[in-house]
Amino acid sequence: MSATFRALVIDKDGDSQNVSFRELQTSDLPDHDVLVEIEYSTLNYKDGLAVSGKGRIARRLPMVGGIDLAGTVVESRSEAWNPGDKIIVNGWGLSETEWGGYSRFQRLKPEWLTRLPAAFTPLQAMAIGTAGYTAALCVDALEDWGRIAPGEGEVLVTGAAGGVGSVAISLLAAKGYVVTAATGRPETHDYLAGLGASGFISREELAAKGGPLQKERWTGGVDAVGSTTLANALAQTVRGGAIAACGLAGGADLPATVLPHILRSVTLIGVDSVMAPQEQRERAWARLARDLDRTKLEAITRVEPMSNIKALADDIIAGNVRGRVVIDVN
Ligand code: NDP
């Protein structure tokens, strides 16, 4: 084990925050029961907020960033895990209240670890990351709702060219749903069609203020954007349909009325990945293992060194990142 290793640390700088690379030792890490050697982490929208300082994600400083990690158990004081076990961690407060994945090593609570699905390498698991696993939670939530079925009408995916959106399109298309992608980047239409989208709607059209009840169009949807986009999606959902909402890339507000809910029985399903119980995680990862085309996963992924993280954080907040970014922490 190397004596020191590099980690990305978010710390106080007067009233604001400072982000720097520091050399740490394993003795600097939190006193949790499982020591993991990390191979890859990822860049999610929340990582962009944390590293750029555009959102107060780190609630305890100093904080090692990175909400995802994949690696190998090196030491364990828990009977649940043994050295050599391949694991992933998504969420559980990493980069918020707990040190995260932008580090070569991390100590973690045993209950945060999920066994790396046999279907994926650590790199592929991080190509999916929190964004992809959340997309799977959204599709699970829609299917649990039980009133959408492949071949019946259109399903909407907003923030389509982003991480959640790209994986949601792939998963829905694999099950035979007809997917309409809402994107602000027309140049990504070929890319999104390659993932399985068969229709497009512009980000601007869906974000413009609309009436409380509009022409019924979507049998279901996955929304990563929030604000007027989610309000319109709900107002355009067919009687008895449902939208699974997980994101706020367009804003945390929801300027909507109750009318779609009380006049058309439309359901808004909230999806939180951070504290999702282990059985929901395993189910979502099983869906990804079963339905996510590896060629498509490769097409949406790029690997970047950790030294590029600050520029990448600005890019994802500006809405300029397509698909998924894996961070090589070594
Ligand atoms: P990305 O940045 O990869 O994707 C977000 C996409 O939203 C962009 O690619 C863009 O898509 C669209 N977008 C960006 N800015 C705006 C804007 N101002 N108005 C409308 N659309 C915009 O992020 P992720 O996919 O990683 O995350 C998406 C959202 O989901 C984030 O808000 C994130 O915090 C949230 N999230 C929530 C989780 C949970 O547990 N609830 C877990 C994971 C993510 P396009 O260019 O196609 O228009």
Task: Put residue 15 in one of left, alpha, beta given phi > 0 → left and psi -120 to 50 → alpha.
Answer: alpha
Q: Which residue has the tokens 């990563």?
A: 224
CA of 131 to the centre of ligand 1 (A): 9
Clarify whether residues 110 and 139 are in a common domain: no
Residue 298 backbone dihedrals phi, psi, to 5 degrees: -60, -40
The ligand 1 site (C-beta within 6 Å) comprises: 44-46, 130-131, 134, 159-165, 183-185, 203, 207, 224-225, 229, 246-250, 271-274, 316, 319, 321
Q: Is the residue at 43 inside a domain?
A: yes
Q: Is the residue at 125 inside a domain?
A: no
Lowest mean pLDDT among 10-24, 214-228, 252-266: 10-24
Looking at residue 36, its pLDDT comes to 98
- How many structural domains compose the chain? 2
For residue 167, the domain's CATH number is 3.40.50.720
Clarify whether residues 191 and 144 are in a common domain: yes
Report the C-alpha dihedral over residues 313, 314, 315, 319, rounded to 10 degrees.
Answer: 100
Range 158-176 average pLDDT: 96
Q: What's the CA gap between 60 and 137, in Å, rounded?
A: 28
Largest CA distance in the chain: 64
Q: Is the residue at 194 inside a domain?
A: yes
Looking at residue 14, its pLDDT comes to 86
The answer to whether residues 68 and 94 touch, using CB atoms and an 8 Å cutoff, is yes
Looking at residue 1, its pLDDT comes to 61
Q: How far apart are the first and last CA of the chain?
A: 13
Looking at residue 69, its pLDDT comes to 98
Clarify whether residues 138 and 162 are in a common domain: yes
Return the number of other C-beta atoms located less than 10 Å from residue 190's C-beta. 8
Clarify whether residues 182 and 84 are in a common domain: no
CA of 94 to the centre of ligand 1 (A): 19
Q: Is the residue at 99 inside a domain?
A: yes
Q: What sections of 34-121 are H helices per DSSP? A: 45-52
Residue 324, pLDDT above cutoff 70:
yes
Domain that holds residue 315: 5-116+296-328
Output the six-digit token pair for 285: 């990862």
The total number of residues shown for the chain amounts to 330
The answer to whether residues 180 and 258 touch, using CB atoms and an 8 Å cutoff, is no
Using pLDDT thresholds of 50, 70 and 90, give the confidence band for residue 2: low
Range 97-107 average pLDDT: 98
What 3-state DSSP class applies to 283? helix
Clarify whether residues 137 and 110 are in a common domain: no
Clarify whether residues 266 and 153 are in a common domain: yes
Instruction: Note if the pTM is more than 0.90.
Output: yes
Clarify whether residues 71 and 162 are in a common domain: no
